[in-house]
């Protein structure tokens, strides 16, 4: 099985240094950059998207039909949603520092990285059950890709703080069977 973890397209919030508010669309139409991943009608690829509009929009650039799985939704940023990252760091330096170092921290009142990891692990377990699926593309958020990669490779959750994924980058995980270990091809940027 091949699992492609695809970061959604860039949003205005990303470009302006804001936490997402969950309603953003892609800043630019980038479907041509995803042509190598396009899923045709005879393709045995399953496309799954998080629920955010930008994730669904990116998934629609790949396939006419796709599933939405809340396991791959963005992390809940709580009261930081839509706020400037810089200003939040100035206003709440201890909470931001903790959130950037401790997977259990949730000073924003939303979801911790550890809470997100439980949800993402459930989504990956669902994908494991797709026996007839040769290839699966999950369109989601960079933080979800980081957590999924850490989980699949058995890395400590703290490793997510050392990962960085650009919009539209893809990380490919492969394994021979559901019982086999994942191997990773680390991020690829579309042409």
Q: Domain 2-188 belongs to what topology? A: Rossmann fold (3.40.50)
Phi, psi for 158 (deg, rounded to 5): -60, -20
- pTM over 0.75? The answer is yes
pLDDT, one tens digit per residue, over 78-133 is 999 999 999 999 999 999 999 999 999 999 999 999 999 999 999 999 988 876 56
- Interatomic CA distance for residues 175 and 155, integer angstroms: 17
pLDDT score for 133 = 64
Q: Work out the pLDDT band at 176, boundaries 50, 70, 90.
A: confident
Domain boundaries, the chain: 2-188
Q: Which residue in this structure is represented by tokens 């899923």?
A: 39
């Amino acid at each position: 099985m091949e699992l492609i973890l695809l970061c959604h397209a860039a949003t205005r919030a990303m470009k302006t240094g804001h936490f997402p508010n969950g309603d953003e669309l892609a800043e630019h139409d980038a479907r041509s950059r995803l042509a190598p991943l396009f899923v045709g009608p005879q393709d045995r690829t399953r496309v799954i998207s998080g629920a955010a509009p930008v994730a669904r929009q990116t998934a629609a650039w790949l396939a006419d039909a796709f599933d939405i799985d809340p396991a791959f939704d963005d992390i809940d940023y709580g009261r930081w949603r839509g706020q400037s990252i810089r200003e939040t760091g100035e206003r709440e330096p201890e909470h931001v520092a903790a959130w950037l170092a401790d997977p259990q921290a949730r000073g924003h009142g939303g979801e911790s990285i550890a809470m997100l990891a439980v949800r993402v692990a459930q989504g990956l377990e669902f994908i494991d059950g797709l026996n007839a699926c040769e290839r699966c593309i999950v369109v989601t958020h960079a933080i979800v890709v980081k957590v999924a990669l850490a989980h699949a490779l058995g890395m400590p959750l703290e490793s997510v703080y050392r990962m960085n994924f650009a919009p539209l980058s893809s990380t490919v995980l492969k394994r021979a069977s559901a019982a086999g270990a994942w191997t990773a091809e680390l991020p690829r940027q579309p042409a």
